[in-house]
Amino acid sequence: MKNIPVLFVQGRCLAEAYERALISLYERGTRIATQYDRPGDPLSIDATMNITVLDPWADPMIHKAFPGGIEDLQEYVLELCGAKDHWVKNMNDPDDTRWEYTYHQRLKGYGSWREAQDGQSVQAGAFSVDQIEQVISKLVDQPHTRQAQMITWMPNIDFDCYDPPCLQSIWYRLLFDEDETAWLNCNVRFRSNDAWGANFMNMFGFIQFNRQVIADEIARRSGKTVELGRLNWQADSYHIYGKSLEEAKARLFDRLESTSFEERVFNFRDPMIRQIYEEAREAVLEKIKKFDREHER
């Protein structure tokens, strides 16, 4: 095969779209090696994937097959909202082993990858762009704009980064219905997306980010009702690693004929799920504080 397949799926809710994307990849993706394979690993399954979630805020939102728990979803949402930005390392310090980036840090402070020392900038011409603020302001001031975009890729460092950002860009546009409700449509592009190990958490996290950080703030400033419109998710490389195939088969693909869709999903609004999710917040924040104390610089 000389061409990477390009696949398209859509679903009403997140859990439905996620499951359809995995099935489409499993059935129609190509087999390919990766630079992360260990000796003896099966080839990964890969495709370029376009996923549309028509109603991101609808239930059932959570798919039971994703390899994680409700508490992990809360931790990821907190990370996307900035709770771990202080874990990003000082790029001037070769002994600093903290993270290369967080998505929130790249969106909130794009360009600010060198820390200040003694109150002075360590690099002439250093800059920082709060893209989140710019996107919100743009959508409030010019509701029909096509320029509400955020990026993460920094070519001056990411080509040499061991683990550069998978998320590349987020684009927003508002659509107004007959009641003047604003619907926040969103396009997200990943250069590389681990379909089994990360994609569900990525999509769930950015749905929550879009609601809490973007839509709610537009509503507050504009006085308009803002809801989440469709989410379009494009992954240049949407893949299941060979080492994950057996788990994916056991948890999902081999269960499709023996279980109903309803048995494979959770409602995010289920009181028990919401309780687990909300109660995890303080535990996650304490976990971050504990890590900070143990790794205080």
Question: For the segment 248-289, what is each residue's pLDDT rounded down to a tens digit?
Answer: 999 999 999 999 999 999 999 999 999 999 999 999 999 999
pLDDT, tens digit (0-9, with 9 covering 90-100), for 128-182? 899 999 999 999 999 999 999 999 999 988 898 878 999 999 999 999 999 999 9
Residue 89 resides in a domain: yes
What pLDDT is recorded for position 114? Answer: 55
Query: 191: Cβ–Cβ under 8 A, 6 or more apart, which residues?
Result: 166, 168, 235, 236, 237
Kindly report the CATH number assigned to the domain that includes residue 99: 3.30.572.10
Instruction: Tell me if 172 is assigned to some domain.
Output: yes
Task: Domain count for the chain, please give it.
Answer: 1
Residue 260 lies in a domain: yes
Radius of gyration of the chain (CA): 20
pLDDT tens-digit readout, 82-99: 999 888 877 667 777 777
Q: Is residue 56 part of a domain?
A: yes
Q: Which domain holds residue 76?
A: 6-110+127-294
* Residue 118 included in any domain: no
Residue 115 included in any domain: no
In a domain, residue 275? The reply is: yes
- Asked if residue 87 lies in contact with residue 99, where contact means CB atoms within 8 angstroms, the answer is yes
pTM of the model: 0.93
Q: Residues with Cβ < 8 Å from 38, sequence gap 6 or more?
A: 243
User: In the 3-class helix/strand/coil scheme, how is 154-193 assigned residue by residue?
Assistant: CHHHHCCCCCCCCEEEEEEEEEECCCCCEEEEEEEEEEEE
Task: Find the range with the poorest average confidence among 112-121, 130-139, 205-214.
Answer: 112-121
Compute the C-alpha angle 67/227/209, nearest 5°. Answer: 40
- Per-residue tokens: 58: 């609808």
Q: Looking at the domain assignment, is residue 68 inside a domain? A: yes
| Other beta carbons within 10 Å of 52 | 17
